[in-house]
Chain A
Amino acid sequence: MRHVISLLIENESGALSRVSGLFSARGYNIESLTVAPTEDASMSRMTIVTTGSDDIIEQITKQLNKLVEVVKVVDISEAAHIERELMLIKLRATGKDREEVKRTADIFRARIIDVTEASYVVELTGNQAKLDAFIGAIDNTLILETVRSGICGVGRGDRILKL
């Protein structure tokens, strides 16, 4: 099963490698991992997308909690939550492809944020499925570069992860 784990961690050098080291040492999967400081610069928030049986997910959250620098851990996928990912995709845009790419971007409510004679950079935000769908809808030979941020997640309503 796929799980989205959010955690707050002291913003100290090496903290990220403690988390990634834990996953590789214990053979857990990481689908994506994002991290950046919160409004309190002494703390970072991390979103980890992982897969595993219930037993493994239970161990993952326990092991994460055990890391001395980890302040709080929540499996936000246990209840209603929102996931978003940002993608920047550079596409070849010449001739009739130019119009086609623009139209597809519009359908997906993506924005074109860089334009040259031969290319567009398209910015698209959404859940994983939406980003995958956009890539699916574009002629593959037009794709020059894809950059995805990995997933950020937050619980809905009053489910709040804070100190």
Chain B
Amino acid sequence: MVLTGAEIVIRCLQEEKVEHVFGYPGGAVLFIYDALFQQEQVRHVLVRHEQAAVHAADGYARSTQKVGVALVTSGPGATNAVTGIATAFCDSIPLVIISGQVPTAAIGQDAFQEVDTVGITRPCVKHNFLVKDVRDIAATIKKAFYLARTGRPGPVLVDIPKDVSMHKCEFEYPQEISMRSYNPVVKGHQGQIRKAVQLLLEARRPMIYTGGGVILSDAAEQLTKLTRLLGFPITNTLMGLGGYPASDRQYLGMPGMHGTYEANMAMHYSDVLLAVGARFDDRVIGSPAHFAEEPRKIIHVDIDPSSISKRVKVDVPIVGDVREVLDEMIRQLEAGKARPNAEALAAWWKQVEEWRSRNCMVYKNSDEIIKPQFVVQKLWEVTGGDAIVTSDVGQHQMWASQYYRFDKPRRWLNSGGLGTMGVGMPYAMGAQLANPGATVACVTGEASIQMNIQELSTCKQFRLPIKICNLNNRYLGMVRQWQELFHGGRYSESYMDSLPDFAKLAEAYGHVGIRVDKPADVEPALREAFTKHKNELVFLDFQVDPTENVYPMVQGGKGLTEMILSAEDL
């Protein structure tokens, strides 16, 4: 069948079973929008800013196993998308971004709305393409989806000049794709896995540390099975929350800068550390030199060889997909008779429980002023711990990760690697569209939410009943906290003056707005939002204590055992 390039683009999306495309039209993509108009299978979600299009596609991907898709025009459309692309890149999220480009003949002529999109995005995509011939569109889009979802996932951009979208050719979607230069290893090396299992069985102070890789490979089930089989303590990074049920006894909470005392101490003093789909980030291990002071054997499972021995020297590297490798570990353990040393394990758990008994997550609640932690706890209760929770970046993000207990994967969506303020609402939009029946809450701050506040309009148009919980402390709280602790209390530009009345703002967009001032009103307001206004977007503006800080804390550059547990430690 002979089709235009634009029609081919849409047919490719249909072939990939894409249901939602998040985008914003413009000159260079007019033919593609025209083709989109003439079919019904692929639904377009018109955002109000291209950054939000990419974030929403990203949230869509994070909450499912699918590839998120965004469509933007050339020039400013593409540059607006860059923050979204970089955010997905840093957290290894599979996306396909289609951008329009000026006609081939105009490329390099400083044409209207021309930017070198492939050049600008090169350092923050897994791969990108400029399609110069209509006959290459189908194969390129096929490759883009394949690259985005396999190996270590990531965003892939396809730049299509306007004339290429207008030209015609015969359409045929390739069934198979093979690339001689790209063959990610999926199955782990048998011998290495055997070595790892041996080490685990001999361990006296074992610890399991897992991250985003477990979520990305949909291996929560395998991880839970293996962890229970071994009986070891486990911690999940900010990106790995929900990989193991947070309410289980073996779970020690999150590690790292704002992780729990018990998780950090157990990471540090373990003799065998099993790292799975986690990348020893600086916000997790603090100073690598301090971490290396304590001798321990490290097993590292990761699909990307460059993640292994990058920041921390590893003893047993296993390159492969988490799910495949854990399956094989379980198989080997179950086939053998050997079990971990019960006596050593009991002694280790005694030590771990001692650390846990420090109760590092307690905070002083108040009857007068709303504590942000309290709001998150109540949110957890009211939603039965089963909501999809998105977050922005700052103190509220940390409190959401600490006080909402995630028992399942793909329930916690946030920007860990790039730390992009403004992702919260678009993530919630993507998640709600992907999971129409699910309860979706966005825990945000008064500064972050303003970075993409225009999306309240998109939410109205597409009737997205998300619940926004604004922990309004009138400060760039996380910045204020660092200024308080490390810059002599000089609050340079961290006060958020001239805030809007968020409840009224939400109403102006056609939503429900509720302002909450007193602790006693927190739970009733949440109940009202999640029951009475179940099918509406509710903006809950909680006036929280502006002076509250996030604890525990490992200061940047310090070691995991050098924690500040509360303000009293200062």
Contact = CB atoms under 8 A, between A and B. Distances in A.
| Chains A and B belong together in one complex | yes
Nearest to B306: A62
A14 B118 contact: yes
B181 A66 contact: no
Interface residues of A, number: 20
A59 B122 CA distance: 19
Nearest to A18: B122
Contacts of B130: 13-14
B305 A17 contact: no
B449 to A, nearest CB: 32
A68 B126 CA distance: 8
A75 interface: no
Most buried by A among B126, B130, B182, B309: B182
A63 B306 contact: yes
B138 interface: no
A69 to B, nearest CB: 6
A21 interface: yes
B306 A17 contact: no
B133 interface: no
B179 interface: yes
Nearest to B132: A13
Interface in B138-155: 147
Given A17-B122, A18-B122, A25-B123, A68 B147 contact: yes
Contacts of A18: 122
B180 A58 contact: no
Contact of B309 (A25, A58, A68): A58
A68 B119 CA distance: 16
B182 A62 contact: no
A87 interface: no
A163 interface: yes
Interface string B110-146: 0000000011001100110010000000000000000
Contact of B127 (A9, A59, A68, A71): A68
A59 B310 contact: yes
A63 B182 CA distance: 13
Nearest to A68: B127
A66 B304 contact: yes
Interface class of chain B by DSSP: mixed
Interface string A103-114: 000000000000
A76 interface: no
B181 A71 contact: yes
Nearest to A72: B181
A10 interface: yes
A65 B319 CA distance: 14
A21 B122 CA distance: 8
A70 interface: yes
A17 B130 CA distance: 14
Contacts of A65: 305-306
B135 to A, nearest CB: 16
Contacts of A9: 181
Contacts of B118: 14
Contact of A70 (B181, B305, B309): B181
Most buried by B among A18, A58, A68: A68
Interface in B294-343: 304-306, 309-310
Given A18-B122, A21-B122, A59 B181 contact: no
Most buried by A among B118, B130, B180, B181: B181
Nearest to B118: A14
Nearest to B126: A68
B241 to A, nearest CB: 27
Contacts of A62: 305-306
A17 B119 contact: yes
Contacts of A17: 119, 122
A163 B127 CA distance: 22
A18 B147 CA distance: 16
A40 to B, nearest CB: 11
Nearest to B307: A62
Interface in A51-94: 55, 58-59, 62-63, 65-66, 68-71
A58 B147 CA distance: 24
A30 to B, nearest CB: 16
B312 to A, nearest CB: 11
Contacts of A63: 306
Contacts of A70: 181
Nearest to B156: A68
A62 B309 CA distance: 11
Contacts of A25: 123
B286 to A, nearest CB: 19
Interface in B86-132: 118-119, 122-123, 126-127, 130
A52 to B, nearest CB: 14
A66 B118 CA distance: 18
A21 B123 contact: yes
Interface in A105-160: none
Interface in A19-73: 21, 25, 55, 58-59, 62-63, 65-66, 68-71
6 contacts: A13-B130, A21-B123, A58-B309, A62-B306, A68-B126, A68-B182
A-B complex: 3 closest residue pairs judged by Cβ atoms:
A62-B306, A68-B127, A71-B181
Interface of A: 9-10, 13-14, 17-18, 21, 25, 55, 58-59, 62-63, 65-66, 68-71, 163
Given A9-B181, A21-B122, A68-B182, 16 more contacts: A14-B118, A17-B119, A18-B122, A25-B123, A55-B309, A58-B309, A59-B306, A62-B305, A63-B306, A65-B305, A66-B305, A66-B306, A68-B126, A68-B127, A68-B147, A163-B180
